[in-house]
Amino acid sequence: MIAALGCPTPARYTEVRPGLSCERATRVAYRTLLALGYTVTNVVVASPERAGGVTGTKTGADGQPRTGRVVITCDARGAVLQPVEDALVPDYEFSRGFGYSFKELVQRPDVEEPRAALGLQVLVHAISREEATLDLGGPPTAAGFLPVRVTIRNNTDRAVAFDPERLELVDGQNAAPLADSAATAALASGAAGDRVRTQLLGARRIPAQTTVTGFLVFPAGDYREARLTIEDVETGEGEGFVAPLR
């Protein structure tokens, strides 16, 4: 639940966005708090029937905790995003920062994909609870499991082969993706789990000039990076990748 508690924000810091959908307003507000260094703790997707918003926390330069909140209202005409200051006598630093960052991020695509024009590129992204709410409508996995989105862009003139068994996540120890019935058993019931279920990545050939995106499921953990090997179909030679877990 998002409550507009805190110091009222002057109108000049309110983002009025005609034509911006409820869902996208919430999504960009989420990305804005992340860009400002906040750990997002709550997301409520706005709709014409109810206000939504995003809440996050971070430690300030003085070592004290800070809360950043944005309340979002919307209808068929567009969206209004109102930052909420948590100080009794605010300096509106959060409101100013939110406005600057939001204006930049709303111009960008919501999902950052690999952008290499040539070669083979891989993006591995662990989906947080808040992102699952935005992207999938809810948690796609049961407690104790982590959904991961993998994007492979093959901007070469050769086909390559991907096998989930050759991908692992790394923290203190390595973790392999769940396979077959174990992966499907880890998925939650409902639309979010069904979407991931239909897009689970299996071993496959990726033709030249083709991008593939899908999901894998791992045991929950605080992973730092992904390590994987992708094979050239013609030569059988493998190319190793180390990708930060974004």
**Residue 135: band (very low, low, confident or very high) from pLDDT cuts 50, 70, 90:** confident
Is the pLDDT confidence value at 176 over 80? yes
Q: What is the mean pLDDT of residues 13-31?
A: 92
d(CA 68, CA 98): 9
Q: Dihedral angle at the C-alpha atoms of 150, 151, 156, 162, nearest 10 degrees?
A: 30
pTM score, whole prediction: 0.74
d(CA 129, CA 43): 9
Instruction: Please give the distance of CA 208 from its chain centroid, rounded to a whole number.
Output: 27
Lowest mean pLDDT among 33-47, 51-65, 100-114, 156-170: 100-114
Is the pLDDT confidence value at 156 over 60? yes
pLDDT at res. 62: 84
CATH class of 11-105: alpha beta
SS3 192: helix
Which two tokens mark 132? 């699952």
The CATH number fitting domain 119-244, selected from 1.10.510, 1.10.3210, 2.60.40, 3.90.380: 2.60.40
Percent of the chain at pLDDT exceeding 70: 93
Q: What is the mean pLDDT of residues 41-62?
A: 91
81, 25 in Cβ contact below 8 A? Answer: yes
d(CA 226, CA 211): 19
Is the pLDDT confidence value at 51 over 90? yes
Lowest mean pLDDT among 35-49, 84-98, 148-162: 84-98
Instruction: List the domain boundaries for the chain.
Output: 11-105, 119-244
d(CA 36, CA 97): 7
